[in-house]
Amino acid sequence: MTRQHLIIDADDTLWENNIFFEHAFDEFVDFLDHSHLSPPQIRDVLDAIEAVNARIHGYGSKNFGRNLVQTYRKLAQRPISDADLDTVIG
């Protein structure tokens, strides 16, 4: 039998702040206004980008913004302007 361990990081930083990341994601989905991808499908793309970038840059609000920009660049169905990227970062 293989022994497994469960490790929980419960310092409250993510728990208390996760609502802000979720709100930002909801606003991102609205701004992206994708013609056929649902929010869970967009989340899947973001999660895949985060999985790669977390190894390089870690987590946090700055990196979350970077991940949203990459997701936007991948999924946008219109020409991408600097103003769009500023909105995504904001």
Question: From first to last of its 90 residues, what are the pLDDT tens digits of the chain?
Answer: 788 887 776 665 666 778 888 999 999 999 999 999 999 999 999 999 999 998 998 877 889 999 999 999 999 999 999 999 999 998
10, 31 Cβ separation under 8 angstroms: no
Is this structure's pTM higher than 0.85? no
Q: Tell me the C-alpha distance between 82 and 21, whole Å.
A: 22
Residue 49: other Cβ atoms inside 10 A: 18
What lies within 8 Å, CB to CB, of 29 at 6+ separation is 39, 42
